Chain A
Amino acid sequence: GENVEQHPSTLSVQEGDSAVIKCTYSDSASNYFPWYKQELGKRPQLIIDIRSNVGEKKDQRIAVTLNKTAKHFSLHITETQPEDSAVYFCAPHPPNTGKLIFGQGTTLQVKP
Chain B
Amino acid sequence: DTEVTQTPKHLVMGMTNKKSLKCEQHMGHRAMYWYKQKAKKPPELMFVYSYEKLSINESVPSRFSPECPNSSLLNLHLHALQPEDSALYLCASSQGTGDGYTFGSGTRLTVV
A-side residues, CB < 8 A to B, are 31-32, 34, 36, 42-46, 49, 89, 93, 95-105
- Within the complex, the shortest CB–CB distance from A101 to chain B, in Å, comes to 7
Whether B100 lies near A99 (C-beta < 8 A) is: no
Whether B101 lies near A100 (C-beta < 8 A) is: yes
Give chain B residues whose Cβ lies under 8 Å from the Cβ of A49. Answer: 100
Give chain B residues whose Cβ lies under 8 Å from the Cβ of A98. Answer: 31, 33, 48, 50, 55-56, 94, 97-98
- Within the complex, the shortest CB–CB distance from B7 to chain A, in Å, comes to 14
CA distance in complex: A49, B97 (Å): 15
**Chain B, range 4-45, C-beta contacts under 8 Å to A:** 31, 33, 41-45
Known: A97-B56, A97-B97. A104 touches B45 (CB 8 A): no
Whether B98 lies near A95 (C-beta < 8 A) is: yes
Q: A49: nearest residue on chain B (CB-CB)?
A: B100
Give chain B residues whose Cβ lies under 8 Å from the Cβ of A34. Answer: 100-101
Q: Which of B45, B90, B99 is within 8 Å of A99, CB to CB?
A: B45
B-side residues, CB < 8 A to A, are 31, 33, 41-45, 48, 50, 55-56, 90, 94, 97-106
Give chain A residues whose Cβ lies under 8 Å from the Cβ of B33. Answer: 98, 100
Q: B104: nearest residue on chain A (CB-CB)?
A: A43
Whether A46 lies near B102 (C-beta < 8 A) is: yes
CA distance in complex: A43, B41 (Å): 13
13 sample A-B contacts, Cβ–Cβ < 8 Å, listed by A number: A42-B105, A43-B106, A44-B90, A44-B101, A49-B100, A93-B98, A97-B97, A98-B48, A99-B56, A100-B33, A100-B45, A100-B101, A102-B44
CA distance in complex: A110, B42 (Å): 21
- Within the complex, the shortest CB–CB distance from A63 to chain B, in Å, comes to 16
Give chain A residues whose Cβ lies under 8 Å from the Cβ of B31. Answer: 98
CA distance in complex: A49, B99 (Å): 9
Known pairs A34-B100, A46-B100 / 6 extra A-B pairs, C-beta < 8 Å: A43-B105, A44-B101, A89-B43, A97-B97, A98-B50, A98-B56
Give chain B residues whose Cβ lies under 8 Å from the Cβ of A104. Answer: 41-42
